[in-house]
Chain A
Amino acid sequence: MSAVDTAPFASPASGGVAETLPAHLLGHAAATGDRIAMRKKHLGLWRSYTWDEYAERAAAVGIGLRALGVEPGDRVAIHANNRPAWMIADMGVQGIGAIAVGVYPTSPTAEVEYVLSHSGSVVLIAEDEEQVDKVLAARSDLPDLRTVVVKDPRGVDLSDDWIMTMDELEALGAGQRQDFGSAVAALDPSQCAIIVYTSGTTGPPKGAMLSHDNLMAAARGSGTEFEVGPDQEVLSYLPLCHIAERLISGVNAVTQGYVVNFGESTETFAQDLAEVQPTFFVGVPRVWEKFMALIQIKMGDAGWIKRKNYDLWMGVGGRLARKRWRGEKLRGVNGLLYFLGWVFLFRSLRRKLGLSRVRGALSGAAPVSPQVLEYFWAMGIPIREVYGQTENTAQGTIIPADDVRIGMVGKAMTGAEVILADDGEILTRGPGTFLGYFRNPEATAETVDADGWLHTGDVGEFDDDGFLRITDRKKDIIITAGGKNISPSEIENRLKTSPYVREAVVIGDQRKYLTALIGIELDTVGDWATRRRIAFTTYGDLSAKPEVKELVSEWVEKVNTEMAQVETIKGFELLPKELDQEDGEVTATQKVKRRAIETEFSELIEGMYR
């Protein structure tokens, strides 16, 4: 480890060096260089990366990129699944003042091309042959792209001058940590550090520019609110291009200094989670719903003793959770009950899921059904909803740890202001507010007003204690022909709590009544059908079975009984295919593109109103 030049970073705040993520990285390398920063599962073994290695390689990437002619302010795209190289590249790019642009690994060629050309990226760091092939297909339309760096060159034609390996890039900049240190020291924290392309349920993705200051504000805000410290272990599994995982695996990890674990692949998520047993876990609603479906299906197959045990303690846990939401400590009889529940159910159940050590858990990025949150609270997982978006670096609101209210998204986070506009739209302001949309000043002007208020596009309301409740996306709110305002996401999320329902899209804008398009969960419904000896071939075939329609119909009826009269679903159709990113039906984060769905399945929809 080079002793030179890391000293000022040991305390960036006092040493005159501006606070940035690369500065923090160098600080950790100087102070606790031999500690573990990341782990990656490779061929069955969890390999460790120390802070020193992390900094050394980030420096090599940064200086290597500079040798390729990357200037401060240039965009460098990263197109890979979550792995240490992603973070190393991110830090290297930010360290030399260039701008890191993440591309979703699941993006089809057209989307990759759009992001690369819109951002004008000069270098692309791609994971493997699969991602390189996508960019090769769009090569002629990407005049700005000078070099493609590939991490895993298996199968890639390296005789092409356009392509080099990550090892070669790191060799270019090896051993020049001092230069990297000077570059980091010279960073202007008000400049753009990363561009995050929002997934865009309408129209093409927009590139939100976040500065170093934004990221530091997020580190400060979420570091306090999430209650994360240096003794945490997390598993990095959500796409790193999304602000949520970037905050957990990047921003907070590098500022707080906890360990980030990267699993073997996206397919092995469940196994990786069970091995890592993280102490802090962030899930999107889809992940929590999937866990819930998994438990319910497996419980259905369990023997009666195990089922009774589960029913008993989940019931007890549910009652105890209500006390914990009010901030009560579980003492005396309640403490004993929780302990017994822990011995008989929660401990083993959470261990099976991989959440046995979780001290804090968050749900964010999309609205979640209250039933889902209650379910996890019942087994003792203190899951809190957090509300934010890329444009405010996810610095919106969060449920306070000592005053949990299910169905709300909580109070403004430290440093952020949250108010409502006259029409009910939620506005936020604070150090997390982004610099603007890249190459799109019109959209920027529409989003941030003259007073610095960010228009979130969400509609909500405050209760008397200042807790925010989100109604829905402003443009998603359904106004029925009868003039009633209805929030579809609430109904949709309630529908999605069934293990058999994966997608639900409520329809009814300018119509007499509500209907829904429902997508079944192939695994669970397939399992259900197999047990009933219903033969099926594909998703479409299974979806078309009258028995399956009957199964979903029972569930819809049940949900209807909980809804107000105008909110009941009068008819539904099952989607004949799985929604897919390639077909433009969902975004990379699996959010449904409502307009696209309504056009694609217009015949199905019209059929329900005939």
Chain B
Amino acid sequence: MAALPLRSVPAGGRPSRQLVLDYRDDLRIFPDRWARFGLVVLAFLYIWLPTQEVSDAGLRTLSTIAIVAIGAIGLNLLTGYTGQVSLGHAFFVGVGSYSAAYLGAAQEWPFLLYMPAAILLGVFLGAVIGPFALRLRGHYLVIVTLGLVFLGMHVFRNWTSVTGGNRGTQIRGADMSIGPLDFSGLELFGSTFTREQSMFFLVWALLALAALLAKNLVRSRMGRAMQAVRDRDLSAEIIGVDLARTKVGAFAISSGFAACAGVLSGLQIRFASPDDFDLFLSIEYVAIVIIGGAGTIFGAILGAFFVIGVEEFISHYSRSEWLGPVVRTGPGDSGFFSVGELNAVLFGGFIVVFLLFEPRGLAALWLRAKAWFLTWPFSY
């Protein structure tokens, strides 16, 4: 009788990639080759872009985008992930900017000290505002956070010893070094970079860090709790989510991101005045979250690109033939709107259009395109 092949060779096939052998497999941030490939491309652009013939103005715009994106990620955690609409984001950004002005420029603290201090201050103030969200929902919460903006403006205008009052305050000479790297004028490998180039390196690195932090947060227990609260806070509480902790936590974290963005924007424009942190800035952030896509991290970045891009576009063409008659660029000039007003009108319009036609924002366009290919050859 022929014996069966009793092999001692490696038995068993290789498990398919879809096989979840460990819960960690479910939680991977960069699940596949494409995600990792994209990461390499981004890293390359990060190194390569600033060394190319991009004008300082162009780099400044790119840095602004990164700074705004950091703030937008914060608001997205609160609005997109936890479902708490807030118009008070400008206040926390203001807190960050004035922290940079007072602690960084006036008190001459090192960057690694005043940056965390500003973030902690944002977190603390967010945690103080957070409890309102426990009692109020929807429109009522929006009105309370709206009040926060005016309260903030009042403080910024009148606490002159710190904020410089109505005239605002310069942010000059603030330290911007991390260890041996001084981002106010980077010297690396024998070459010297301009302030704009250095700023680009700093803020995009921080954006990457912020995005990673947020990505990690939303896949954690806290992140799942936030999304449960967004979907239905009552049900969330029933399955054991601590509502108070989650809502207050979301406010605190979101405000921390806003303060970080505030510090960076203060360092970039080297000036802070109360009028920079008015209701319009809050609306701009809400617009970014809605246009970009609520509930996605990369949506916040997309939204920042879009909104800052439109702003740059308008201010660039405000004197052109076709925008000139509409936009008023100086005293006595004809036109209905100032640049800022036109922006406000446009963003208002964009919010309406996106909420009506693409409530999940620009990110949804991408997600939908991706789904079209992922469901191939079916449609679902």
**Is residue A256 within 8 Å, beta carbon to beta carbon, of the partner chain?**
yes
**Is residue B57 within 8 Å, beta carbon to beta carbon, of the partner chain?**
no
**Is residue A24 within 8 Å, beta carbon to beta carbon, of the partner chain?**
yes
Determine how close the nearest CB of chain A comes to the CB of B368; give it in whole angstroms: 12
Identify the interface centre among B1, B3, B13, B16: most chain A CB within 10 Å of its CB.
Answer: B13
Contact A27 B6 (CB under 8 A): yes
Contact A24 B6 (CB under 8 A): yes
Knowing A275-B18, A306-B376 touch, does A32 contact B10 (C-beta < 8 A)? yes
Interface residue stretch chosen among B20-28, B191-199, B200-208, B271-279: B20-28
Contact B3 A232 (CB under 8 A): no
Q: Which residues of B contact A332 (CB under 8 A)?
A: none
**Is residue B179 within 8 Å, beta carbon to beta carbon, of the partner chain?**
no
Contact A259 B12 (CB under 8 A): yes
Interface residue stretch chosen among A11-19, A62-70, A318-326, A361-369: A11-19
Q: Which residues of A contact B13 (CB under 8 A)?
A: 231-233, 258-259, 279
**Is residue B9 within 8 Å, beta carbon to beta carbon, of the partner chain?**
yes
Q: How far is the CA of A392 from the CA of B4 in the complex (A)?
A: 19
**Is residue B213 within 8 Å, beta carbon to beta carbon, of the partner chain?**
no
Identify the interface centre among B6, B16, B18: most chain A CB within 10 Å of its CB.
Answer: B6
Q: Which residue of A lies closest to B23 (CB)?
A: A45
Contact B378 A306 (CB under 8 A): yes
Q: Which residues of B contact A298 (CB under 8 A)?
A: 378-380
Q: Which residue of B lies closest to A9 (CB)?
A: B6
A-B contact count (CB 8 A): 117
Identify the interface centre among A37, A274, A302, A357: most chain B CB within 10 Å of its CB.
Answer: A302
Determine how close the nearest CB of chain A comes to the CB of B199; give it in whole angstroms: 45
Q: Which residues of B contact A36 (CB under 8 A)?
A: 11-12
Interface residue stretch chosen among A344-352, A395-403, A576-584: A344-352
Q: Which residues of B contact A13 (CB under 8 A)?
A: 1, 3-4, 6
Q: Which residue of B lies closest to A231 (CB)?
A: B13
**Is residue B5 within 8 Å, beta carbon to beta carbon, of the partner chain?**
yes
Q: Which residues of B contact A274 (CB under 8 A)?
A: 18
Contact A352 B11 (CB under 8 A): no
Q: Which residue of B lies closest to A294 (CB)?
A: B378
Contact B378 A257 (CB under 8 A): no
Identify the interface centre among B15, B22, B377, B380: most chain A CB within 10 Å of its CB.
Answer: B377
**Is residue A223 within 8 Å, beta carbon to beta carbon, of the partner chain?**
yes
Q: Which residue of A lies closest to B374 (CB)?
A: A348
**Is residue A301 within 8 Å, beta carbon to beta carbon, of the partner chain?**
yes
B residues 1-59 near A (Cβ < 8 Å) are 1-16, 18-23, 26
Q: How far is the CA of A169 from the CA of B380 in the complex (A)?
A: 47
Mark each residue of chain B from 96 to 128: 1 if its CB lies under 8 Å from any CB of chain A, else 0: 000000000000000000000000000000000
Determine how close the nearest CB of chain A comes to the CB of B90; give it in whole angstroms: 43
Determine how close the nearest CB of chain A comes to the CB of B342; give it in whole angstroms: 39
Q: Which residue of B lies closest to A359 (CB)?
A: B13
**Is residue A220 within 8 Å, beta carbon to beta carbon, of the partner chain?**
yes
Determine how close the nearest CB of chain A comes to the CB of B34; give it in whole angstroms: 15
Contact B23 A303 (CB under 8 A): no
Q: Which residues of A contact B1 (CB under 8 A)?
A: 13, 19
Contact A35 B12 (CB under 8 A): yes
Q: How far is the CA of A306 from the CA of B9 in the complex (A)?
A: 44
Determine how close the nearest CB of chain A comes to the CB of B177; give it in whole angstroms: 47
**Is residue A310 within 8 Å, beta carbon to beta carbon, of the partner chain?**
yes
Knowing A306-B378, A309-B377, A352-B378 touch, does A44 contact B23 (C-beta < 8 A)? yes
Q: Which residue of B lies closest to A27 (CB)?
A: B6
Contact B378 A299 (CB under 8 A): yes
**Is residue A166 within 8 Å, beta carbon to beta carbon, of the partner chain?**
no
**Is residue A408 within 8 Å, beta carbon to beta carbon, of the partner chain?**
no
Contact A301 B7 (CB under 8 A): no
Q: Which residues of B contact A522 (CB under 8 A)?
A: none
Contact A230 B379 (CB under 8 A): no
Q: Which residues of A contact B26 (CB under 8 A)?
A: 44
Q: Which residues of B contact A81 (CB under 8 A)?
A: none
B2, B11, B15, B19: the one contacting A230 at CB < 8 Å is: B11
Contact A275 B20 (CB under 8 A): yes
Contact A233 B15 (CB under 8 A): yes
Q: How far is the CA of A31 from the CA of B21 in the complex (A)?
A: 25
Q: How far is the CA of A316 from the CA of B18 in the complex (A)?
A: 29
B3, B9, B18, B19: the one contacting A14 at CB < 8 Å is: B3
Contact A12 B10 (CB under 8 A): no
Contact B4 A302 (CB under 8 A): no
Contact A310 B21 (CB under 8 A): no
Q: Which residues of A contact B19 (CB under 8 A)?
A: 39, 46, 275-276
Determine how close the nearest CB of chain A comes to the CB of B237; give it in whole angstroms: 24
Mark each residue of chain B from 268 to 304: 1 if its CB lies under 8 Å from any CB of chain A, else 0: 0000000000000000000000000000000000000
Q: Which residues of B contact A279 (CB under 8 A)?
A: 13
Q: Which residues of A contact B23 (CB under 8 A)?
A: 44-45
Contact B18 A277 (CB under 8 A): yes
Contact A35 B18 (CB under 8 A): no
Determine how close the nearest CB of chain B comes to the CB of A347; give it in whole angstroms: 9
10 nearest A-B pairs in the assembled complex, by CB-CB distance: A13-B3, A257-B11, A277-B16, A31-B8, A233-B13, A259-B12, A230-B11, A302-B379, A298-B378, A275-B18
Using A10-B8, A46-B21 as known contacts, list a sample of 20 further A-B pairs with CB atoms less than 8 Å apart, ordered by residue number in A.
A11-B6, A24-B6, A31-B6, A35-B11, A39-B19, A216-B4, A220-B2, A230-B7, A231-B10, A233-B13, A233-B15, A255-B6, A257-B7, A275-B20, A276-B15, A277-B18, A301-B378, A306-B377, A309-B377, A352-B378
Chain B residues near A (Cβ < 8 Å): 1-16, 18-23, 26, 376-380
14 inter-chain pairs at a CB distance below 8 angstroms, sorted by A residue, are A11-B6, A14-B3, A44-B23, A44-B26, A46-B15, A216-B4, A223-B4, A257-B12, A258-B12, A259-B11, A276-B18, A277-B18, A299-B378, A306-B379
